[in-house]
Structure 1
Amino acid sequence: MGQNPGTNHPRMLSALEKCKSNGGKIISINPLHEAGLIRFRNPQEISGMLLNGHGLTDIFLQVKINQDVALLKLIEKKLAVKDKASGNVFDHEFIEKYTEGYESLLAHLEAHSEQELLEMCGVEEKLIDEAVALLAKKSKIIICWAMGLTQHKNGVENIKECVNLLLLKGSLGKPGAGTCPVRGHSNVQGDRTVGIMHYVSKDLNAAIKKTFGFDAPAHEGVDVVKAIPAMYEGKAKIFIGLGGNFASAASDTEYTAKALQNCDLTVQISTKLNRSHLITGKTALILPTLGRSDKDIKDGEQRHFTVENSMGIVHQSKGFLDPISDDIKSEPEIVAGIASAYFKGNHPVKWKLLGSDYNLLREKLGEVIAGFKDMNTKSKGSGYYLPNNVRDLDFSKLPNQKAQFSNTELPIHNLKENEYLLMSIRSHDQFNTTIYGLNDRYRGIHNERRVLFMNESDMARENLNKMDVVNIMSNYDGQERKVYQFLVIPYHIPKGNLAAYFPETNPLIPIHEYADKSNTPISKSVRVSVERA
């Protein structure tokens, strides 16, 4: 759901292929009819090179942008009808033992008609019924999702509705079942796990005090979407970017650029040059650092580092490329060096020692955070799983020590007659904000990025033809934002929906519009209109 493995997570395609070869079934839910979702050709296999590839998707549900909740509710509602007739569609033993709110959820589903939900999601009912028939017989269900589900105003609600379905089917806490948020970069997983967060954990602070002897901040900080206004308004004066391409990745590009320029100091710790290096504070530094693929050598010995992958496994990793200079430092060395220079030895932490001795750093990490004890040993080979309460069916930290069903609300966008919902996507020749080429072969795009994918009926309504040039506008809180010179491309996308690449469309996303609770930008459901350029 909300992802396209062929473009965004190519390594996942081989796992899906293995699932199919083992008799598994795949339901794909996505607004775009993506070639990589439907068939997969593995170039590492002779059969993949000689034949037309493997059929991946058994059932494709082309949902309208941000109507996943409506679709999931309709599936659950139809499953409930089957369960009422047979009594064996839902896992009632699991529901009774581990969950709370089941009866409330059923009453909530009854408040919505099937016709209402069908019209909202836009999926053909025959296909939904096929999916329901398949799910009714299965107890091992994995729901995978990416930013196509989270980057909406109701992103948290989207995930809660996925969990509702898994709870109904008892598809948690056993092999071949559960939630699977498909993230990407190791830092996305690792930073929160090791305590890099804007809110305060008293337990974490107490562990830091015990191990390192200093008091961590006891007041809430800011995340990305709150840090940008803080810099814009002059409340935050120093920006340090540990990797990434902040100016291009963040929403509301012009606002974000001005926020960075308002800083007294901007520091970019980077493996490669990128556009953010051109948007600086009053004083700016670029500190080159080793990449993950570089050999990290200290005193003639190569050091390894540890990463957490998408599945919550911690394992060791070593680079294989010679660094371009013997003087380039690793990220831990740079961070520790900055701290050492700032405190001038007047701090209980031995910063430089921790920055150079990764084994000691990992030992200290194990003293502070649950799950990292003995990491130096356990991370060898294939690594080890971090603690996971749901995997162990431990819901002791939840109300009444039970997993909670959620009564989620349907998303309402109140589009004007001339407005559409735009989702940002990335191309095949792209990794995050890094553009390797101008082709997107699975979608038939060559030598161009400023394109707007549009339903042919919407093109007719706007009196547009293929390759016509348009501007795209968003209007939030009375402020118009605009991007220019996009080529219109007819595409298999639901009526009323548009798609275009990021970061080219990031200027359309207002900085103050983000998901409730998670603060994720609304990059996948932006209200826009189009005009001829």
Structure 2
Amino acid sequence: MDKTISQDDAPREVRIEPYEGPAGGWGSARSLVEILTREGVPVTGAAMLTKQNKPGGFMCTSCAWAKPAKPLTFEYCENGAKATAWEQTRRRATPDLFAQHTVTDLLGWSDYALEEAGRLTHPMRYDHASDRYRPCTWEEAYAEIGRELKGLDPKSVVFYASGRASLEASYMYALLARLYGNNNLPDSSNMCHEPTSVALPQSIGSPVGTVRLEDFEQTDLLLFFGQNVGSNSPRMLHPLQEARRRGASIIAFNPLKERGLERFTDPQSPMEMLTRSSTRISTQYHQVKAGGDLAAITGICKALIAADRDAKEAGRPAVLDHAFITEHTHGLDEFVRFCDGQDWAALERRSGLSRHALEGTAAVYARARAVIGVYGMGLTQHRRGTETVRMLANLLLLRGNIGKPGAGICPVRGHSNVQGQRTVGITEKPELAPMDKLRELYGFEPPMEKGLNTVEACEGVLDGSVRAFIGLGGNFLRAVPDTSVMEPAWRRQRLTVQIATKLNRSHLVNGEVAYLLPCLGRIEIDRQATGPQSVSMEDSTARFHGSRGVADPVSPQLRSEPAIIAGIAKATVPANPRIDWDAWVGDYAKVRRAIEATYPKVFHDLDGRMFDPGGLAKPLPARERRWETDTGKANFAVPGGLEADPDLPERGGEILDLITLRSNDQFNTTVYGYHDRFRGIDGTRDVLFMNRADIGRLGLRDGAQAAVETVSDDGVSRRLGGLRVVAYDIPEGNCAGYYPEMNVLLPLWHHDAQTKTPAAKSIAVRIAAEG
């Protein structure tokens, strides 16, 4: 293997041509066979997949979509199968790899090549003199990490969680941080759905969605905003297909036409596969401009309010649900004044949609008995992301579409347990953690000072106030904004510790003392003192599920995440007679009993019921129309404005809005390959999708090389070149490129005003030809 390039970074043939097939179908089947074969698990991997997302089996390590009580024969999707093959690959990143390659060499590898090196097998310590990772013992690692942490101010240490760790590991991790003395517990929620966690409590008193899987069987209409179901949560396509077959409408709002929201062929249907037939998913598809959802939803609300007023004057039945509004809501009058005051021309300009389209959506909505509002990061990752989520809640409240069968608000979460981590204490906000219970159970004084979220942790790295970073999974440094600014500052930390299954770029940019600790994957059998262990997690619909590993560990040197957390805790925090870390590691049921004791209103017999078909339901007061808000009712909210970026220049001319995207051959920062089938891109990720009119207006051409530069006045140059221009069906004034490569263009300060979630779906840029 060459010292500066991986075998998986060899030159590839680039093909760019439209893909005409549906989501699912033979394309999905071929992709599954390809990755199982490539990772060397064509037989064992296929056998494991039969146990994925099944009661008594293991929960998918990819997305957090709901697990049904009556699973399909194959209860996994293309990306879920890729995640399983990726984890259970036969490739190994042994100490020999690190003996052959310096860290500087490895930094020249692509994201794909680093992870394709295989599973990590031994604990490693970075040696600055040789610029190599060298193997060490677990005892050595724990001892030095503990010494370093004891010598640091607790306020200077960050405990990051990626969103894949189990409820058990997450509870232990949050407890470790608070015993150590801080609430510096940022997680991947800070980068994606934090606006949900802030907006929904303000609107309906719940930090999560109100929809259960069974609501999809009763709904008349689904409104989709900024969520690419075909790539990010493909198992949802089955209930969407069933909803369409019984006559429900689906209206999609998204800048790009995503194939999963257009057509779907069920790979589990022999008839559909043989006939190559497909189901049309969206009955209407509106290509809203980047950052235009707030204006679009406002327009729908304005049209509904006007239609209700007209109906009253004409003596027709009301359009709004006035009985629900009177009994259950607060603030309607101010919201009506806001909507009435909006100019249709301004709404059309900002949303990119016509008044006719928005009024047409309102008319369909007005006829529907039960409506679900589904959304993803296309709503949340904006400067006004929190306000946009509240506007969607406003829309649903106007006709009583929260708290009845077949209706509700449905944020689609990413990582498989990112919602569950918050439930058991991974939060930087002390008011969201049961500090009184922790004090009572464990006899210590929990820290009450607000901790650091993701953006604040990055700011602390830049100004030097953050001195250590512990990463429970993930690829933090690759996922955050301003990567070209962050990487040099990252090296100034005293300590960096990464707990991981496979190698990624975050493991190669190190502090003065750096450890890489390999952990068991969720699919592997976790053998502890009392025998094989099970873990639990929460899906997007607030149900808890158990998971049992089915494969032997790839190395005897691996430790489970709970074991690693306990090892660091024992070396770092004073012994506590009320916490037996070893007993918890020996029997995870004891951790679950601790979770139940800490959250008695949320968990009831988690240990006994987590393998119930369909999972254990988390209480959702808003689902029962109990509003745990300051007013005691659901609240209508008025946004501060409709501009996605109120402090930046008006778009137009040479300034475009850049949207970051995932390929259907990746999950978050994990790149499974270079084939974005649905967008017709094969062999490269260095592309920039543009509207043909913008290409011509800016003097470019389809297939030309271009560079993108961020528009900002902070004195920092943010530029990415070597991108191939691809003419694509995207709104004029918008362009798009792949995440995480485009993060170099995303300023750290460019975030949601209330939550500091990076605004990655609307970045002001200029584009220029190269060569």
Shorter-chain TM-score above 0.5: yes
Distance across 2 between alignment mates of 1:109 and 1:359: 52
Partner residue in 2 for 1:389: 621
Distance across 2 between alignment mates of 1:430 and 1:55: 25
User: 1:207 Cα deviation (Å)?
Assistant: 0.4
Partner residue in 1 for 2:107: none
Partner residue in 2 for 1:34: 258
User: 1:186 Cα deviation (Å)?
Assistant: 2.4
Aligned pairs for 1:107-146 within 5 A: 107-146=337-376
User: 1:518 Cα deviation (Å)?
Assistant: 1.6
Equivalent of 1:407 in 638, 655, 662? 638
SS of equivalent residue, structure 2 residue 238: helix
- After superposition, what is the alpha-carbon deviation per residue over 1:81-139, rounded to whole angstroms, capped at 9, x for unaligned? 22122242111111000001111111111111222212221124443333222101113
Distance across 2 between alignment mates of 1:387 and 1:256: 40
- After superposition, what is the alpha-carbon deviation per residue over 1:281-333, rounded to whole angstroms, capped at 9, x for unaligned? 11110110011111112247221100101111001111222111233111111
Aligned pairs for 1:305-344 within 5 A: 305-343=535-573
User: 1:349 Cα deviation (Å)?
Assistant: 2.2
**2:443 is aligned with 1:213:** yes
Q: 32-41 or 349-358, which moves further after superposition?
A: 349-358
User: 1:416 Cα deviation (Å)?
Assistant: 6.0
SS of equivalent residue, structure 2 residue 379: helix
Distance across 2 between alignment mates of 1:376 and 1:48: 40
**Equivalent pair of 2:528/2:587 in contact (CA under 8 Å):** no
Partner residue in 2 for 1:78: 303
Number of corresponding residues: 532
Identity %: 37
Partner residue in 2 for 1:448: 684
Partner residue in 1 for 2:231: 7
**2:735 is aligned with 1:502:** no
- After superposition, what is the alpha-carbon deviation per residue over 1:457-514, rounded to whole angstroms, capped at 9, x for unaligned? 0000111111100011003223220111100001111110011001110010111221
SS of equivalent residue, structure 1 residue 354: helix
**Equivalent pair of 1:214/1:348 in contact (CA under 8 Å):** no
Distance across 2 between alignment mates of 1:116 and 1:202: 39
Partner residue in 2 for 1:484: 721
Distance across 1 between alignment mates of 2:760 and 2:681: 22
Equivalent of 2:291 in 55, 63, 66? 66
Equivalent of 2:665 in 429, 434, 453? 429
SS of equivalent residue, structure 1 residue 453: strand
**Equivalent pair of 2:530/2:587 in contact (CA under 8 Å):** no
Distance across 2 between alignment mates of 1:145 and 1:136: 20
SS of equivalent residue, structure 2 residue 434: helix
Partner residue in 2 for 1:272: 502
Please give the root-mean-square deviation of Cα atoms over the aligned residues, in Å: 1.5
**Equivalent pair of 2:425/2:433 in contact (CA under 8 Å):** no
SS of equivalent residue, structure 2 residue 498: strand
**2:400 is aligned with 1:170:** yes
Partner residue in 1 for 2:77: none
What TM-score results when the alignment is normalised by the length of structure 2? 0.67
Q: 80-89 or 419-428, which moves further after superposition?
A: 80-89
**Equivalent pair of 2:303/2:358 in contact (CA under 8 Å):** no
Distance across 2 between alignment mates of 1:77 and 1:343: 56
Letter in 2 for 1:211: L
Equivalent of 1:52 in 268, 274, 277? 277
Distance across 1 between alignment mates of 2:277 and 2:489: 49
- After superposition, what is the alpha-carbon deviation per residue over 1:191-237, rounded to whole angstroms, capped at 9, x for unaligned? 21111111112871110011111111111110111001112222111
SS of equivalent residue, structure 2 residue 562: helix
Q: 408-417 or 471-480, which moves further after superposition?
A: 408-417
Distance across 2 between alignment mates of 1:262 and 1:332: 29
Distance across 2 between alignment mates of 1:425 and 1:524: 8
Letter in 2 for 1:287: L
- After superposition, what is the alpha-carbon deviation per residue over 1:407-446, rounded to whole angstroms, capped at 9, x for unaligned? 1121145236311100100101111111111111111111
Equivalent of 2:335 in 102, 105, 109? 105
Distance across 1 between alignment mates of 2:531 and 2:358: 58
**Equivalent pair of 2:536/2:610 in contact (CA under 8 Å):** yes
Partner residue in 1 for 2:427: 197
Change (3 A) 1:351 1:301: closer
Distance across 2 between alignment mates of 1:388 and 1:257: 41
Q: 81-90 or 398-407, which moves further after superposition?
A: 81-90
**Equivalent pair of 1:139/1:170 in contact (CA under 8 Å):** no
**2:495 is aligned with 1:259:** no
**Equivalent pair of 2:344/2:355 in contact (CA under 8 Å):** no
| Unaligned residue ranges in structure 2 (runs of 5+) | 1-224, 312-316
SS of equivalent residue, structure 1 residue 239: strand
SS of equivalent residue, structure 1 residue 241: strand
Distance across 2 between alignment mates of 1:228 and 1:509: 13
Aligned pairs for 1:290-369 within 5 A: 290-299=520-529, 301-343=531-573, 345=575, 348-369=578-599
What TM-score results when the alignment is normalised by the length of structure 1? 0.97
**Equivalent pair of 2:530/2:586 in contact (CA under 8 Å):** no
Distance across 1 between alignment mates of 2:425 and 2:575: 24
SS of equivalent residue, structure 1 residue 400: coil
Distance across 1 between alignment mates of 2:382 and 2:662: 17
**2:249 is aligned with 1:25:** yes
Distance across 1 between alignment mates of 2:476 and 2:520: 19
User: 1:51 Cα deviation (Å)?
Assistant: 2.2
Distance across 1 between alignment mates of 2:736 and 2:616: 39
Distance across 1 between alignment mates of 2:270 and 2:668: 30
SS of equivalent residue, structure 1 residue 65: coil
Letter in 2 for 1:169: R
Distance across 1 between alignment mates of 2:265 and 2:747: 39
Distance across 2 between alignment mates of 1:110 and 1:174: 28
Letter in 1 for 2:541: M
User: 1:347 Cα deviation (Å)?
Assistant: 6.1
| Unaligned residue ranges in structure 1 (runs of 5+) | none
Q: 398-407 or 193-202, which moves further after superposition?
A: 193-202
Larger relative contact order (Cα-Cα within 8 Å, sequence gap ≥ 6): 2
**Equivalent pair of 2:659/2:737 in contact (CA under 8 Å):** yes
Equivalent of 1:156 in 386, 394, 402? 386
Q: 1-10 or 495-504, which moves further after superposition?
A: 1-10
Equivalent of 1:472 in 708, 724, 740? 708
Distance across 2 between alignment mates of 1:346 and 1:20: 56
User: 1:362 Cα deviation (Å)?
Assistant: 0.6
Distance across 2 between alignment mates of 1:531 and 1:202: 46
SS of equivalent residue, structure 1 residue 423: strand
Letter in 2 for 1:53: S
**Equivalent pair of 2:652/2:733 in contact (CA under 8 Å):** no
